[in-house]
Structure 1
Amino acid sequence: MASHAAASDEPYRKLALSVGFLSITVSALVAHASPATGYELSIYTMTPSLVWVGLALAMSVSLSVAFAPTSDDGSWSRSSALVLGGTAMTVLAGLPIIRGYHFFGHHDAMTHLGWARGIADGSISPFSLLYPGIHTLSVFINSIVGIPIRHALLLVVLLSTLAFVVFVPLSVATLVPDSLAVAIATFGAFLLLPVTSVSTFMHPHAMTQTILLFALFVFVLLKYVTAEEGRSMGIPFLVAIVAVAAVVYHPQYVAHMLVVCLAICALQFFVPRIPLVSRRTTVRRIADHQRLYGLTLFVFGIFLLWSANHGFFSGFAGRAVSSAVEYLLTGSGEAGTSIAAQGGSLSAIGASLTEAFLKLFFPHLVVTLLAMAVITTAFLAGRPARFPDVAATTVYLATGLAGLTGLFVVYFVSVTSEMYFRVFGLMMVFAVILASIALHESIRSLSAVISPSAVRTVAVAFFAILIVTSTAALFASPYTYGQSHHVSETQMHGYETAFANADDGIEFAGFGRAPDRFSDAIFAAETRTSTHATVTPETFEDGPADYYGTDRYLVVSQVDRDRELVAYQGLHYSEHDFDSLDNHRNLDRVHSNGEVTTYRVTTDA
């Protein structure tokens, strides 16, 4: 009877999907017809409301159709619903491209733009960079498609995002070959949990793009260990290609891959040899799986060959380990101090650390709890056992998570404390896969005892809440006490003019080392710029001439004003501070284009 009802509803589903695809088309066209005319503090508020209405309608249709009970004939509508949802997420993630942003990404993204330009014009060899992956790919796109390098880099970001959205459900389908599980995993991937806007971003950022590609590594890993003997001949070659690509994208990412692989290798070697444990069904299944020893050795060889030539061990890895040891001996860590300082800053503007945490990490918290539930079930009961490989691979993923948790702790207590959120992003790849399995099992089990329609309605509402809360924090904005990373053409031109007209030998000063980053982007030097000074509250208190003590160019942009006065609500600088620059002694305005103003600081000496 239910199957017949599902079949009779198929025409309505097709109609709803047609409306959904029409709405997403209208959203994209409206967004494209409303390009940014200057710097935008928030992509959310500056994008026309009709765009968000269309995206919301499309995602609502996608959720409703994907979770509706279907007959065999309804598989087409479920697949179409997932494509609709994926299209909506593509439009959302691609808004900086669709709305014609000149570039999108401050800080590291500007340096990446410079490196990509250097590779394109031949002044930088990709082999001289530690992680030339996103840069060489953007140059390839630039040469094939003909779009500017800055837009090619944004396209690389979008492609990495789509790879995550594709390979998370494929990973779940490897373990749970059920269309409902694939639908759940797809919407779980739409949350884009590895992107936190804290140290992983939706703009060119080599580590973020490699974290998103971690879903591809997990997919080939699961395919390999669960493949029947004699049917996995091509998978090692695929793993080899993924490993080589990963080390070029970011060798630190490969180091994290190795931690996961080594943890699973230890599990495969030791656990089946423990007398009492070896009799359990899950452990016997692990004993039947393909071993990762050879592939792990290959990945380690590739990693060693590349990173040894770029000083990875003597640089970043050495600092991380040595400072973690120092913390254990002296108790002097930086992460706790940083968190306390941020909590104090939030309190000063009437917010709280708890509020900021929930805005940024509520979906992560929910998904982590679901992942913990399925891990606990697998360890204690050897279930869920609806599919034979679920329990065993859950143990694998839990073991990999344990290894990454160790790295998280090392980063947290070391001078590289900002890196712990990047490991957290990798952990979220495992978490969303495990949470999808947990939700699938829960929906199937509950549907057997209560109304399936009621259960799926709750599932739709559950995902709707998570998608809204996650996408609201996907791009930095005042909602999350930050500012958009939009780089307008006027802003770029302002810095180009400032550098071009500067007297030789006089350095710049700016907020947050912005002159260094724009210098990287404009001059495309292989070595990061570090010669320019920063602006601090003391710069205004003492006066720029007295504070710096030497002649300088002081650059102030609209980004700086909006960030400090709107996003940070005047926490560090007031509007009076910015306005007073025109009245400071020994400070002369030499250029302004409406978004970037350059002052000449002249000392009395």
Structure 2
Amino acid sequence: MSSKAVSTELARKLILILGFLAVAGATLAARSTPATGYELSIYAMTPSSVWVGLLVALAISLAVAFVRPPRENDLTRLTALVLGGLAVTLFAGLPIIRGYHFFGQQDALTHLGWARGIANGSISPFELLYPGIHTVSVFIHSVIGIPLPTALMLVVLLATVAFVAFVPLSVGIIAPDSLAVTTATFGAFLLLPITTISTFMQPHAMTQTILLFALFVYVLLKCLTATDQRRIGLGVLFAIVTTAAVVYHPQYVVHILVVCLSICLVQFLAPRVPFVSGTAVANRIAGHRRLYGQTLFLIGVFLAWSANHGFFASFAGRAVSSAISFFLTGSGGAGTSISQQSGSLTAIGVSLTEIFFKLFLAPLVVSVLAGILVLLVIGTGQPSRFPDVPAVTTYVAVGLIGLAGLFVVYFASTTSEMYFRVFGLMMVFTVVLASVAVHEGILSLSERLSPATVRTVVAGGIAVLLVLSLASVFASPYVYRQSQQVSEQQYHGYETAFDNAEDDAVFAGFRGTPNRYADAIHGRETRTKAHTSVTPETFEQGPSDYYDGDRYLVVSELDYQREVIAYRGLRYSESDFESIESDPRVDRVQSNGEVETYRVTANTETT
């Protein structure tokens, strides 16, 4: 090695050391400035030094990983990827590092209650349809001794780390090249399955199972491409992973089955369809392990676990019947929801184009790249470098078609909230294909242009996508939503309100919040539905005139900041909050600085 090469390698190592120091400094800065109350945006309230450290670390990771020519057993490039992984882990773990009491509203609070019920023995894990994240969090809570809310947040972080790790490992199976793995690693850093619409960076069983889908993809590809000597062990691994998936979320397993059945269909038809059976892709598929047995095993485990739950029959029936109704009559479906949300955005001066740019530009770019690879495989069928790329691309493309069919059903049905969750699942496959496409593109263009220039341009494009994608991972006013943080004052405010009220007292709050906090605090298997939500009419008439019976009204700092700042007064204005104090029949009975509880005496006088 020449002296110039030695000095260049030394410079890279020194730069990497700087990157690790930046991550360490960002971690210390985040830890030393814990949240003291509710924060509307984790981006705005986290010190700027944290973001500088993360940006420096990611920039160094990206530069070192892409600028240098690819080599086998490249320890420097691997170190750069580890640096980037630590930076993304710090980013995803900010709610824990900054000392949030809990992170997650709505479903996350119910999950916290279920975990609390399992921990104190009032709920059996076998009574829940999907006890995965709850039992794991209780195990962590018991072994490590950290608070249960923190344990649940740690489960979220671990699922994110698993996604970041297994996406590049999956790509490495079909394109065993360090540059391909590098591309896939930064593709995973985009965290595309998180949309903040129906998949979230918070305890949410479906989201965590979607992130863990990367582990299933890795095991699936290993099973398909394994040699005879390793097939038995991989079959056992497949059984373990899929069984765990059923426990984590059986509904998610339905989507896995769609993928597995699609692959089985390809394996069955490829050697039998004329004009296809003699192609190189079909010949490669013929050499792969058949997935029939594993698919049957997965069906059996799924049926065995879900036999005692009537959820799937009712859910499937509702989805199919409402989808048919939509296609016949045009009523219902996600179109109505989208129209309503579009109207809400327009009312606060926001365009759908802006929201699409913020939330979906990065997924769109990655999807286009994946589509190009699929079209090239269909058009040529010839692998340029790695023999498994066309066959696996065919598997994944057919699996995506199956998932797209579910997407359409969900979109058209009354279960329309599910379609973005299928979208998140599709993004796992899409990132894998897009990474292979970018790798093929880099190698092809490097034969015609300067390889260093090609890699530099690709690195710049990835940097832009990283900023766009990570800026919307956590809900914030940037995407016209509020942070999902649950401060300690807010949690204990609701807890005190429930403790001090009569046993049969009814609470009212914003957007069903009292029910969710009752779930979290009481830890019952059955979700609480006893409490009510305020409406705009509540303030138009006045709480005492609107309600026909006495109740408690709970208003939190989160409610105020969400409605007045994040939603720009769309439903409730600042004057609505101020009017509560002016009603003579509304008395404040509790306040801790973040949660205020009022006793509403209903006006029963007739006029």
Whether the TM-score (by the shorter chain) exceeds 0.5 is yes
> Residues of 1 paired with 2:394 and 2:558: CA distance?
47
> Residues of 2 paired with 1:152 and 1:419: CA distance?
27
Which residue does 1:81 correspond to in 2? 80
What letter is aligned with 1:284? N
* Superposition TM-score, scaled by structure 2 size: 0.98
> Residues of 1 paired with 2:219 and 2:182: CA distance?
20
1:184–1:436: 8 Å Cα contact kept in structure 2?
yes
Which residue does 1:493 correspond to in 2? 492
Moved more, 588-597 or 324-333: 324-333
Which residue does 1:465 correspond to in 2? 464
> Residues of 2 paired with 1:185 and 1:552: CA distance?
54
RMSD of the alignment, in Å? 1.3
Deviation at 1:467, TM superposition (A): 0.6
- Between the aligned residues of both structures, percent identity stands at 64
Classify the secondary structure of the residue corresponding to 2:553: strand
> Residues of 1 paired with 2:70 and 2:499: CA distance?
67
> Residues of 2 paired with 1:180 and 1:270: CA distance?
33
1:4–1:71: 8 Å Cα contact kept in structure 2?
no
> Residues of 2 paired with 1:457 and 1:91: CA distance?
26
> Residues of 2 paired with 1:404 and 1:362: CA distance?
21
Which residue does 2:545 correspond to in 1? 546
1:533-576 superposed Cα distances (whole Å, 9 cap, x missing partner) = 11111111111122221111111100010001110111111111
Deviation at 1:74, TM superposition (A): 7.5
Deviation at 1:73, TM superposition (A): 7.9
Which residue does 1:245 correspond to in 2? 244
> Residues of 1 paired with 2:504 and 2:133: CA distance?
34
1:6–1:74: 8 Å Cα contact kept in structure 2?
no
CA 1:246–1:4 in 2, change beyond 3 Å: closer, same or farther?
Answer: farther
1:202–1:474: 8 Å Cα contact kept in structure 2?
yes
Deviation at 1:7, TM superposition (A): 5.3
CA 1:565–1:401 in 2, change beyond 3 Å: closer, same or farther?
Answer: same
CA 1:409–1:419 in 2, change beyond 3 Å: closer, same or farther?
Answer: same
What letter is aligned with 2:429? F
Deviation at 1:143, TM superposition (A): 1.0
1:374–1:384: 8 Å Cα contact kept in structure 2?
no
> Residues of 1 paired with 2:521 and 2:503: CA distance?
17
Which residue does 2:211 correspond to in 1? 212
What letter is aligned with 1:118? G
Which residue does 1:584 correspond to in 2? 583
2:72–2:178: 8 Å Cα contact kept in structure 1?
no
Aligned length: 604
CA 1:321–1:563 in 2, change beyond 3 Å: closer, same or farther?
Answer: same
2:70–2:178: 8 Å Cα contact kept in structure 1?
no
Which residue does 2:140 correspond to in 1? 141
Which residue does 1:386 correspond to in 2? 385
Deviation at 1:71, TM superposition (A): 6.5
For the pair 1:236 / 2:243, whether they are aligned, the reply is no
Q: Give structure 1 stretches of 5+ with no counterpart.
A: none
> Residues of 2 paired with 1:257 and 1:285: CA distance?
23
For the pair 1:339 / 2:338, whether they are aligned, the reply is yes
What letter is aligned with 2:110? T
> Residues of 2 paired with 1:364 and 1:572: CA distance?
31
> Residues of 2 paired with 1:505 and 1:71: CA distance?
68
What letter is aligned with 1:318? G
CA 1:502–1:216 in 2, change beyond 3 Å: closer, same or farther?
Answer: same
Which residue does 2:224 correspond to in 1? 225
2:410–2:419: 8 Å Cα contact kept in structure 1?
yes
> Residues of 2 paired with 1:548 and 1:530: CA distance?
17
Which residue does 1:478 correspond to in 2? 477
Moved more, 313-322 or 256-265: 313-322
Which residue does 2:37 correspond to in 1? 38
Which residue does 1:111 correspond to in 2? 110
> Residues of 2 paired with 1:370 and 1:314: CA distance?
37
> Residues of 2 paired with 1:574 and 1:437: CA distance?
50
> Residues of 2 paired with 1:522 and 1:255: CA distance?
32
2:281–2:390: 8 Å Cα contact kept in structure 1?
yes
What letter is aligned with 1:209? Q
Pairs within 5 Å for 1:368-407? 368-407=367-406
1:14-61 superposed Cα distances (whole Å, 9 cap, x missing partner) = 000000000100000010000000000000000000000000000000
CA 1:248–1:515 in 2, change beyond 3 Å: closer, same or farther?
Answer: same
For the pair 1:324 / 2:333, whether they are aligned, the reply is no
Deviation at 1:257, TM superposition (A): 0.2
Which residue does 1:99 correspond to in 2? 98
Moved more, 74-83 or 49-58: 74-83
Deviation at 1:383, TM superposition (A): 3.9
* Superposition TM-score, scaled by structure 1 size: 0.98
Deviation at 1:4, TM superposition (A): 8.8
Which residue does 2:281 correspond to in 1? 282
CA 1:575–1:470 in 2, change beyond 3 Å: closer, same or farther?
Answer: same
Q: Give structure 2 stretches of 5+ with no counterpart.
A: none
Classify the secondary structure of the residue corresponding to 2:232: coil
Which residue does 2:178 correspond to in 1? 179
Which residue does 2:158 correspond to in 1? 159
> Residues of 1 paired with 2:442 and 2:7: CA distance?
23
Which residue does 1:124 correspond to in 2? 123
1:567-586 superposed Cα distances (whole Å, 9 cap, x missing partner) = 01111111111011001242
1:190-246 superposed Cα distances (whole Å, 9 cap, x missing partner) = 000001000000000000000000001111111111112333121110110011100
1:7–1:73: 8 Å Cα contact kept in structure 2?
no
